[in-house]
Amino acid sequence: MAVWNPWRGCHKKSEGCANCYIHRANARKGINTDIIYKTDEFYKPIEKDKKGNYKIKSGQMVFVCFNSDFFIEEADSWRKEAWEMMKLRNDLHFLFLTKRIERFEIGLPDDYLDGYDNVTICSTIENTLRAKERLSIFKELPIKHKMITIQPMLERIDIAEYLDESVECVVVGGESGSNVRPLSYDWVLDIREQCMNKNVSFEFRQLGSIFMKDGTTYKVQRQNLCAQARKAGINYKAV
């Protein structure tokens, strides 16, 4: 596993961004997250060592832009080159999440056509408004590997009309930290059922720090959020 942050910084975009962990972490260090800049690891995927071998070894999953959004406006003129590096390193698999799927076409290389086999794009949503807005676009896009991330899940959401065999997995989770919005287990189970009905894989990634189940509201410690979700044992693998 490798991480590649070709640029850093992000602007809050929608309801799910209210407690963005990047903004919170940067604020503690006195960094202004709204300043977007190209990093000195921009060319990381194609960097080589003294022997001429790629520094990122073949066969790895590379998590991209986990301190930004791949489609952020300020990166429009940088993005084509980033795509080209991903195409060149077809021995790696790249994955990124975005809340800006409507900007997908900006900076796309001419040879992209029906997509790159080694790139997974996760469209992130948080409520019904954003599901309708983003997933209706996502559904039509030429992307070889698609995932939907619902995190932080803020309400019950019906995504059934956007689920088909092109969606490899739906990931659900709550919000972590203090003063966060609650996650209801009923909403999670409802998404799971929608996925099972459409034979789409489902993963319950993490509880929320405030978690409601069977009429009781719990405060969950951060270190237990993922473990408790796994313990629920409700993940579903498409057959």
Q: Which of 238, 233, 232 is nearest to 146 (CA)?
A: 238
Give the shortest CB-124-to-ligand SF4 separation in angstroms: 7
Strand residues in 140-184 grouped as ranges (E): 145-150, 167-173, 183-184
Nearer to ligand SF4, 12 or 144 (CB): 12
- Select from 5-13, 103-111, 164-172, 210-218 the region that touches ligand SF4 (CB under 6 A): 5-13
Q: Which of 61, 58, 83 is nearest to 6 (CA)?
A: 83
With binding defined as CB under 6 A, does residue 36 bind ligand SF4?
A: no
The mark string for 66-105 relative to ligand SF4 (x by CB under 6 A, - otherwise) is ---x-----------------------------x------
With binding defined as CB under 6 A, does residue 3 bind ligand SF4?
A: no
The dihedrals phi and psi of 210, each to the nearest 5 degrees, come to -115, 120
202-206 and 183-184: which strand pairing?
unpaired
With binding defined as CB under 6 A, does residue 13 bind ligand SF4?
A: yes
What is the Cα–Cα distance from 152 to 204, expressed in whole angstroms?
Answer: 12
Binding site residues, ligand SF4, CB under 6 A: 10, 12-13, 16-17, 20, 22-23, 69, 99
